[in-house]
Amino acid sequence: MNYIQKNRRNILVISGALVLIVGLLIYLLQKKGHTSDDMVATVYPISVNAGENVNFEDKTAFSTNRKWVFGDGFETKDQKGSHIFKKPGYYQISLIVDNEYTKSFPVLVSSAPIAVVSGEVAGATVIDAPSQAMQLENVLFRAVSSNAKIYSWKFGESGNIDAKDKMVTYSFKNPGTYVVTLFTDTDTDPIIHQIKILPSYPVNEIQEIKPIEATQTEVISKINDDFRYHLQQIANGSNFNMHYYYLLRTYLCNKDNVSVSANGKNISFYYYCTGLQFDKNNLIQEVTTTIDPGQNCITKVEVKQSKE
């Protein structure tokens, strides 16, 4: 009887143990090498109306278990599917893999559109228009009707008929609260819509941000303080369009995709401001801006914020 035959049992035990050890080492090395950046998942579309489907799918190869968290109280462990947000708002959909790795997707949910019949609202005519705008801004007004053919608009400034189309724009010359009146050939009573017009920023006030004798450090400090003030106004629930477009036109050269780093998380300026509008009680503590070499536009914004 040779050595192998005599020690066959011991050899088998040792071989099995080595296979298990090698397999365990390979598993641990693979697991150790993963990060959240290795996760593969999709969420689409990222901008919907309330009541519309948002599709999601996890394609992460190394995941053994997963959980989707949608920010509205709903969670699921399904690999893919669809979800409906019932209320408008700014939501962060998060995928958590193996209770260790997380990837988030921002989704903007707008109010559901008015139900229509053959392209128009059934019944009485209504006015589709904002309830607040800025002085000298072109405001869009739309008559939503199932059968009206004739339209006469009075915007409350001139006292006369100002327009006769179904869809019109009007620029209010003075701030104040106005009652817009619409007359049609099918409605027995006039349709009214109230709108508040806020004063626009005078040009000389904007130019005062950059005094002639100020140093570069002082100018940047004033810009940072002004930027922080208007972000705080958005966070406080003040008029979104007024403060958003002021920052966009004054500092960002109308580029809404400028990167904003909020507490270390990067997002575009548009999505950051939209989230700030819906996520209440934020305190903007500090804003630091990066200006391009020509000092014409801000190319990056860093924000430190906390919950009040």
List the alpha helices (DSSP H) in the chain.
3-6, 8-32, 203-207, 216-235, 240-250, 269-278
Q: Which residues pair with 75 in a beta bridge?
A: 69
CA distance 259 to 110: 23
Kindly state whether residues 50 and 139 are assigned to the same domain.
Answer: no
pLDDT tens over the chain, length 308 residues: 555 555 666 666 677 777 788 777 766 655 556 788 888 999 988 888 888 899 999 999 888 899 999 988 899 999 999 999 988 777 889 999 988 889 988 888 776 655 444 444 446 889 988 988 888 888 889 888 888 899 999 999 988 999 999 888 899 999 999 999 999 999 888 999 999 998 876 544 444 444 445 567 777 888 889 999 989 988 888 888 888 888 988 888 888 889 999 888 899 998 888 888 887 778 899 999 988 766 578 889 999 998 86
The CATH number for 176's domain is 2.60.40.10
Q: Does any domain span residue 21?
A: no
Residue finishing a domain among 178, 198, 218: 198
Kindly state whether residues 146 and 78 are assigned to the same domain.
Answer: no
Kindly state whether residues 224 and 164 are assigned to the same domain.
Answer: no
Give the residue carrying structure tokens 């699921």. Answer: 76
Kindly state whether residues 131 and 213 are assigned to the same domain.
Answer: no
- Tell which residue, 143, 133, 134, 150, has the closest CA to residue 168: 143
- The domain tally of the chain equals 3
Kindly state whether residues 151 and 213 are assigned to the same domain.
Answer: no
The CATH number for 223's domain is 3.10.450
Kindly state whether residues 303 and 256 are assigned to the same domain.
Answer: yes
Look up the domain containing 84 and give its range. Answer: 36-110
